[in-house]
Amino acid sequence: MEKLFRGRAYVVGDAVDTDQIIPAEYLVYNPSDPEERRFFGKYALCGVPPAQAGLPQGQVPFVPEGAFSSEFAIIVAGSNFGCGSSREHAPLAIGEAGVKLVIAESYARIFFRNAVNGGYLLPAEAAERLIDKVQTGDELAVDLEACRVDNLTRGESYALLPPGDILPILEAGDVFEYARRAGMMAR
């Protein structure tokens, strides 16, 4: 698993729920079919109102119309990211859009566990409220080992909380592969 990330940030506010991350109307696709799975990326974050995403009217959305992935590699969120239903499609959708890392002030527990258990993306926790410091489009460099985010656009640095025990699961690919490698499940 990568420990260094670099890319443009997409900033969303507090309490972005799973229906905003992937609205229920787009749950008709089969995530085990590669042709259909990519549609989850196409519709990722399409339910987040532009004002909540810090976007002026008319600015490019998270995934441009007609595309299946985003130009934004890192999501920066406020508190309680991924609240709402236990929809495991939410971290899948963000991962399918090309995001490998979400940095939030805090997460809904079920979103956090679904992100880690499915190996879809890394849910990093900010040590401070970054949505007031980072803007959509800022170029970020994230170093997990140093627990630091460098905002290359603004020349600022911010602290992350240590990722803790989730790294071995993400390094294995998902919770099932982790359990196999650790001898908890038969191969």
What's 27's domain CATH number? 3.20.19.10
For the record, the structure tokens of 158 come out as 């911010």
In a domain, 29, yes or no: yes
Query: Rounded CA gap, 14 and 1, in Å?
Result: 28
DSSP 42: H
Which residues on adjacent β-strands are paired with residue 119?
none
Which range of residues forms the domain containing residue 16? Answer: 4-161
In a domain, 172, yes or no: no
Query: Rounded CA gap, 75 and 61, in Å?
Result: 13
In a domain, 31, yes or no: yes
Q: What is the pLDDT of residue 85?
A: 84
Tens of pLDDT along the chain (187 residues) come to: 678 999 999 999 999 999 999 999 999 999 999 999 999 999 999 998 876 666 655 566 899 989 999 999 999 999 999 999 878 899 999 999 999 999 999 999 999 999 999 999 999 999 999 999 999 999 999 999 999 999 999 999 999 999 989 988 999 999 999 999 988 988 7
Query: Rounded CA gap, 41 and 68, in Å?
Result: 5
Q: What is the pLDDT of residue 49?
A: 81
For the record, the structure tokens of 181 come out as 């490698």
- How long is the chain? 187
In a domain, 36, yes or no: yes
In a domain, 121, yes or no: yes
DSSP 149: E
> Number of folded domains in the chain?
1
Residue whose tokens read 């939030």: 104
Q: Mark 28-59 as b/e (b = at least 16 C-beta within 10 Å).
A: ebebeeeeebebbbbbbbbbbeeebbbbeeee
Query: Rounded CA gap, 31 and 133, in Å?
Result: 35
In a domain, 49, yes or no: yes
In a domain, 182, yes or no: no
In a domain, 166, yes or no: no
